[in-house]
Amino acid sequence: MKFIDEAKIYVKAGNGGRGCVSFRREKYVPKGGPDGGNAGRGGDVIFAADARLTSLLDFQYRREFKAERGEHGMGSLCSGRDGLDLKIKLPVGTVIKDFDTGELLADLTQDGQEYLSCKGGRGGKGNAHFATSTHQTPRFAQPGEAGTERTLKLELKLLADVGIIGFPNAGKSTLISHISAAKPKIADYPFTTLAPHLGIVKFGDFGGFVVADIPGLIEGAHEGKGLGIRFLKHIERTRIFIHLLDLSPLTGRDPKNDFEVVNNELKAFNPELAERPQVVALNKIDITGAEESARELLNFFGRLGIKVFAVSAATGKGLDALVNHVGSELERLKGLQA
């Protein structure tokens, strides 16, 4: 399925129906009084989070949503039926914003959570409602009120405990495929991953945690370079980062510089992200010539107080220790927030 994480839609609640102007006209009932019935209200537009959905793909093909209008009032004191509410299902983790102002309207983070976006218009009163002892034949009724309408921006932010970050081709897809059941595309060229992937990592006897593979960041990602600007928002909900660094001497990369560049991009996008806990994973330790670089970096990050692991995402070396540490750290963080 194609992964779509943003959409622009127009929603409108139903208009209220018109009240009825009617008078009773029967053969043996002279001067029958007003009997115009009230109209029904318009339907509301309601958003509901559904854990079974994973993308905003449906909103690429349909962009207008209108609830049913209320039925008009009728004679013989018959009231119009209320318009049916329109319930729109969204993936859990969807943020709803006003498109014109950017105002945050709702953040659907739990399955079944609902948000009333547009309220249906009130139905008009029929002329029977306005009959009094001094005004026995009102010849007017109320029109229905218009339902509210607005243009919205939908943004899907994945709900994951751990975000795997790093430069393109650092081995993020290989890592998530090794520690979880996720099966992303893996190839030896940059930007293989064109959409985030979620995987569930088993940890402990009964639980686990959700990890997200975020497409590769490059310098200037927060300004729109590469793919990062599209997917940086998906790590805003994560509690901890696994920062994957490429140790392969064949690539000619400088792990220290890569670490600094990615963190600068996080800070430029959202300063809070730069303060989030990180665990460094020195990847591709199985490649000849990587061990010497690993020893230096273990000391370097150790002096910075950052927990660091030498791993091979391809062979699985060191991954158990990495997963156990991340799982324990998550439990600690959750305990502090409880």
Same domain, 198 and 93: no
- The residues near 137 (Cβ < 8 Å, ≥ 6 apart) are 23, 33, 34, 131
Q: Residue 46 sits in a domain of what CATH number?
A: 2.70.210.12
- Residue 1 in any domain: the answer is no
How confident is the model over 149-199, as pLDDT tens digits?
Answer: 999 999 888 778 898 888 887 888 888 888 886 664 444 434 444 466 778
- DSSP code of residue 311: -
Same domain, 196 and 150: no
> What whole-number percentage of the chain has pLDDT above 90?
45
DSSP strands (E only) in the chain = 6-12, 45-50, 64-66, 86-91, 94-98, 104-108, 114-118, 149-156, 162-165, 197-203, 207-213, 240-246, 278-283, 308-310
Number of domains in the chain: 2
One-letter identity of residue 231: F
Pairwise CA distance, residues 142 & 17, whole Å: 9
How confident is the model over 116-151, as pLDDT tens digits?
Answer: 999 999 999 999 999 998 898 999 999 999 999 999
Of how many residues is the chain composed? 338
Same domain, 171 and 101: no
Pairwise CA distance, residues 296 & 274, whole Å: 24
Give the pLDDT band (50/70/90) at residue 237.
confident
How confident is the model over 200-213, as pLDDT tens digits?
Answer: 788 766 467 888 88
Is 213 within 8 Å of 191 (Cβ atoms)?
no
Pairwise CA distance, residues 7 & 73, whole Å: 38
- Residue 284 in any domain: the answer is yes
How confident is the model over 293-334, as pLDDT tens digits?
Answer: 888 898 899 888 899 999 998 899 999 999 999 989 888 887
Q: Which of 156, 177, 195 is the last residue of a domain?
A: 156
Q: Which domain holds residue 316?
A: 162-337
Same domain, 84 and 169: no
| Phi, psi torsion values for 331, nearest 5 degrees | -60, -40
Same domain, 228 and 307: yes
Is 116 within 8 Å of 44 (Cβ atoms)?
yes
- Residue 90 in any domain: the answer is yes
pTM of the predicted protein model: 0.71
- Residue 98 in any domain: the answer is yes
Same domain, 53 and 201: no
